[in-house]
Amino acid sequence: MPYERHEVVVAVVVGDKSRDAIVAFREAMPEQVKSLLIGPVIGMNAYYSFALMPDGAGEFSHSLSPVVDEWREKFLALLPSLLGDWVHVHMTEEEGAWFDDQGDEHAFVPRIVTSGSSQHFRGDTHTENTDE
């Protein structure tokens, strides 16, 4: 059975400045991978959600996989500078969790790899840090 690992990054940011930073980031991405960054999904109280979806390429040694990996790392480096919360999740096939109907032992298990919250995020205040 081939090994699979899907990676997704979900971010919920507050305010136009943080939203615009992610939109600008997407515009800088190579055209063939831009569609993997979804959003903004507009919430209430100036919340905007984004998701950098799995590429599915690594399992098949696709040439775009290193490109997506590079941009995922860049996205993860950007997020701590924005106002909001984010999480990086691996969904991985791991041995030993359960048996399928063919008797193979495996499971598709989600695991939080990293997560964070802006140091300026203060619950319900919804104000952006404008100090430069």
pLDDT digits (tens, 9 = 90+) for 22-48: 999 999 999 989 999 999 999 988 899
Mean pLDDT of 55-81: 81
73-82 contacts, C-beta under 8 A, 24 or more apart: 74/25, 75/9, 75/25, 75/37, 76/9, 76/114, 78/21, 78/22, 78/25, 79/9, 79/11, 79/116, 80/116, 80/118, 81/21, 81/118, 82/11, 82/13, 82/18, 82/21, 82/22, 82/118
Structural domain boundaries enclosing 48? 5-121
What value does the mean pLDDT take over residues 54-82? 82
Residue 117: inside a domain: yes
Is the residue at 99 inside a domain? yes
Q: Over the stretch 71-126, which tens digit does the pLDDT of each residue have?
A: 999 999 999 999 999 999 887 765 545 455 555 555 566 777 888 876 554 444 33
Residue 131 within any structural domain of the chain: no
Domain membership of residue 130 (yes or no) is no
pTM for the full predicted model:
0.75
Highest mean pLDDT of the ranges 11-15, 61-65, 115-119: 11-15
Inside any domain, residue 84: yes
On whether residue 126 sits in a domain, the answer given is: no
| Higher-confidence position of 76 and 128 | 76
For position 13, what pLDDT does the model report?
95
Number of domains in the chain: 1
